[in-house]
């Protein structure tokens, strides 16, 4: 049996980027179909759940998704020193957040289909599969928001080639939660970092590292550190995920656009993705609706131009920092704590050295992307 949908826009992937794109396009009058392969949207959670405050105004009634207010970030360096900076934001209930955003898209008029997998590109849309049924969705614009291993990106010959592995436990806090996130740098967290993100009575304790084989031992080392300090108790949940840290991909080809992790919009150093996914979703949603209203596909070129103007500089700068960090990590570990401290401080977004000292391979002005700092920390 074949089910057919007539639409102006089809969005593949109902994460924050896809749901935002669907909502914005539907609010502007476009006929939108939003599909996702998951049975239950928002599950499983594969995220540390921090979102910068500047991203919140785009979220209708966001307070219902917040588990903890955040005021600052403290980074602990390999040499035992630390740095605290203002980093206002929130810790989300990410499962409820994704469900809520998709619900907002549905309330705006989008048709939301779960258990539906994009299979093929066809001349006037896409062919998808829901259980044993083919689903043909005819649409002028196809938006790929289907994550790190994007099917839609593969149709354009694009793929995320550099993947950081993230693994975290949700743990009981043995002390009152502080309104700050904590980041841990050192040899135990190769080419990445560890974190403690409080969420009321519990906290997300996790690591994002390269290679993938290091994740289990890295998380065990961080858990031991925090347990020995008397800060955490029992584990109440475990999640893991894959984070693209290669930097931006080609995001537009004909009537197909890529946003969020599918387009490499995840920050190559921090692994942050929520804020950028939502921002790119808002952009493409607006311009996809203009295509629907006018029949003029060139409005997607405006999406590409705005995307490049806002995000290409900071993401490319971060990608160069990532390449440098990966390339010299082992040498700095061998050279000792001072060398590793210097490297991590040059390659972390809360330090002045990150902005004022470009990686050796970077071509561009020092300080690129400074204004986007607050939007690139969350994820």
- Confidence tier at 38 by pLDDT (50, 70, 90): very high
Tell me, what CATH number does 175's domain have? Answer: 3.30.9.10
Q: Which pLDDT tens digit goes with each residue over 57-74?
A: 676 677 789 999 999 999
Residue 42 banded pLDDT, cuts 50, 70, 90: confident
Q: Does residue 17 register a pLDDT over 90?
A: yes
Burial class (CB in 10 A: 0-12, 13-18, 19+), 117: middle
Domain that holds residue 239: 53-91+163-244
In a domain, 167, yes or no: yes
Q: For the chain, what is the mean pLDDT? A: 92
Q: What is the pLDDT of residue 40?
A: 87
Whether 186 is in a domain gets the answer yes
Cβ-defined contacts of 348-357 (< 8 Å, 24+): 348/75, 348/183, 348/185, 348/193, 348/269, 349/267, 349/269, 349/270, 349/318, 349/373, 349/376, 349/377, 350/73, 350/75, 350/83, 350/85, 350/87, 350/377, 351/83, 354/269, 354/321
- 185 in a domain, yes or no? yes
In a domain, 63, yes or no: yes
Q: Over pLDDT 70: what percentage of the chain?
A: 94
- Whether 218 is in a domain gets the answer yes
In 10 A of CB 149, how many CB atoms? 14
Q: Return d(Cα 176, Cα 307) in angstroms, integer.
A: 41
So what's the pLDDT on residue 377? 37
Higher pLDDT, 39 or 349: 349
The predicted model gives 22-31 an average pLDDT of 98
Residue 371 has pLDDT above 60, yes or no: no
Residue 164: φ, ψ to 5°: -90, 140
**Other C-beta atoms lying within 10 Å of the C-beta of residue 213:** 11
Question: How many structural domains does the chain have?
Answer: 1
- Residue 376 within a domain: no
The residue assigned the tokens 């890529």 is 258
Is residue 318's pLDDT more than 90?
Answer: yes
Give the pLDDT band of residue 1 (cuts 50, 70, 90).
low
Q: Is the pLDDT of residue 226 over 60?
A: yes
Q: Is residue 191 part of a domain?
A: yes
Q: Which residue, 362, 298, 274, 283, is CA-closest to 89?
A: 274
How far is Cα 102 from Cα 106, in angstroms, rounded to an integer? 6
In a domain, 363, yes or no: no
Res 235 pLDDT > 90: yes
Cβ contact 52:375 at 8 Å: yes
Mean pLDDT of 41-51: 84
What mean pLDDT comes out for the span 34-42? 91
């Amino acid at each position: 049996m074949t089910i057919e949908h007539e639409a102006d826009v089809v969005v593949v992937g109902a994460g924050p980027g896809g749901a935002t794109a669907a909502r914005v396009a539907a609010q502007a009058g476009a006929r939108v179909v939003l599909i996702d392969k998951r049975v239950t949207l928002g599950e499983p959670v594969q995220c540390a759940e921090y979102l910068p405050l500047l991203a919140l105004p785009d979220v209708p009634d966001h307070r219902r998704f917040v588990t903890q207010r955040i005021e600052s970030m403290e980074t602990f360096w390999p040499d035992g020193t630390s740095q605290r900076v203002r980093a206002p934001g929130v810790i989300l209930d990410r499962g409820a957040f994704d469900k809520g955003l998709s619900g907002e898209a549905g309330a705006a008029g989008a048709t939301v289909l779960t258990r539906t997998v994009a299979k093929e590109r066809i001349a006037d849309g896409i062919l998808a599969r829901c259980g044993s049924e083919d689903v043909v969705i005819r649409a002028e614009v196809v938006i790929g928001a289907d994550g790190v291993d994007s099917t839609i990106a593969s149709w354009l010959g694009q793929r995320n080639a550099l993947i950081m592995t993230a693994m975290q436990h949700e743990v009981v806090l043995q002390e009152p939660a502080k309104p700050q996130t904590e980041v841990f740098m050192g040899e135990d967290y190769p080419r990445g970092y560890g974190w403690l993100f409080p969420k009321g009575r519990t906290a997300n304790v996790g690591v994002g590292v390269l290679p993938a084989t290091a994740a289990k031992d890295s998380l065990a080392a961080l858990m031991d550190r925090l347990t020995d300090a008397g800060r955490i108790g029992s584990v109440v949940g475990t999640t893991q995920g894959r984070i693209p840290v290669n930097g931006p991909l080609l995001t537009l080809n004909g009537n197909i656009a890529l946003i969020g992790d599918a387009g490499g919009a995840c920050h190559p150093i921090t692994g942050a993705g929520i804020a950028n996914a939502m921002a790119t979703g808002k952009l493409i949603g607006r311009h996809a609706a203009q295509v629907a209203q006018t029949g003029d596909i060139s409005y997607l070129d405006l999406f590409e131009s705005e995307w490049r103007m806002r995000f290409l500089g900071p993401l490319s700068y971060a990608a160069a920092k990532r390449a440098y960090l990966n390339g010299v990590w082992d040498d700095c570990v061998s050279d000792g704590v001072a060398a590793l401290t210097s490297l991590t401080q040059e390659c972390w977004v809360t330090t002045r050295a990150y902005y004022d000292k470009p990686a050796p391979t970077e071509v561009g002005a020092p300080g690129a992307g400074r204004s986007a700092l607050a939007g690139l920390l969350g994820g």
